[in-house]
Amino acid sequence: MDDIVVVENLVRYFGDIVKTEVLRNISVSFKRGAFTAIIGPSGSGKTTFLNIISLLESPSSGKLYIDGKDFSTGDINEYSSFRNRNIGFIFQFHYLLPEFTALENILMPYWIGYGKPPVSMVKKAIRLMKEIDILNVKDKFPNQMSGGQQQRVAIARALLNEPKIVFADEPTGNLDRETGFAVLDVMRRMVKEKGTTLIMVTHDRDIAIKADRILELVDGEICKSFIVKEKGEKKTRELLEDRTCVF
């Protein structure tokens, strides 16, 4: 399993005169086809880090490689085509467009990237909906769906163009416990069956423990990084409760 995202000495600060460092010399890599959970206290830099490695935000310095391509410098607006072809996004709030049906929302990335979807793409979207059990809301608008259904539509939208990587920022944070775990099961299945790389920020340690690997940020630095299977569930929970840094 090779590395699909590689970060070297990544730094992100805000401000010109008084600089506030949010990320400090982070060096880490992410395996292709793996599920990595990023955890950490509020203000630790999790979302900023996710935004940078998903090409939504630029680093102040350091190196960033995605699928072998150097994205260390340049205007993030120039990366929109790469993002649309290779990256999917799932957020805490689904951001579905209220005036479009579930099916139309799922097809939106194709509309944006390529124009009117052909029949084959519509059929693909319908297959996706069937796979994650939301075919019954195909023609419904977002306000006619439950929170779990809305988030599953967002997952299908993220998967439509068969991205190499899906970045998720608190995708279960706005859902009740049962629905959150159901959505997580869909996402884990997508990693296993489609070979998608999933990188997820979560505050929920019960969600994180389902990942292949856990990465913890504290004060803009990597505090812990370990493979869940190697540690076992009991040791993993102990590590998550331990406030000291473990590498």
What is the largest distance, in Å, between two alpha-carbon atoms of the chain? 55
Name residue, tokens 């203000």: 43
For residue 193, what pLDDT is reported? 82
- 8 A C-beta contact, residue 172 and residue 182: no
Cα distance between residue 240 and residue 246, in whole Å: 10
Name residue, tokens 């799932």: 90
Tell the CATH superfamily of the 3-241 domain.
Answer: P-loop containing nucleotide triphosphate hydrolases (3.40.50.300)
For residue 133, what pLDDT is reported? 82
Question: 150-159: per-residue pLDDT in tens?
Answer: 988 988 888 8
**Over 60: is that where the pLDDT of 191 sits?**
yes
* Share of residues in the chain with pLDDT > 90 (%): 45
Question: 111-121: per-residue pLDDT in tens?
Answer: 887 889 999 99
The torsion angle over the Cα atoms of residues 160, 163, 169 and 173, rounded to 10 degrees, is 40
**Over 70: is that where the pLDDT of 1 sits?**
no
Question: 75-131: per-residue pLDDT in tens?
Answer: 777 788 888 888 988 887 778 999 999 999 999 888 887 889 999 999 999 988 888
**Over 70: is that where the pLDDT of 136 sits?**
yes
Question: 161-176: per-residue pLDDT in tens?
Answer: 888 999 998 888 777 8
pTM, entire model: 0.88
Average pLDDT of the chain is 88
Cβ-defined contacts of 92-98 (< 8 Å, 24+): 92/169, 92/170, 92/171, 92/173, 92/174, 93/174, 94/142, 94/150, 94/151, 94/153, 94/154, 95/154, 96/142, 96/150, 96/153, 96/154, 96/157, 97/142, 98/141, 98/142, 98/143
Question: 198-237: per-residue pLDDT in tens?
Answer: 999 998 888 999 999 999 999 999 999 999 999 998 898 8
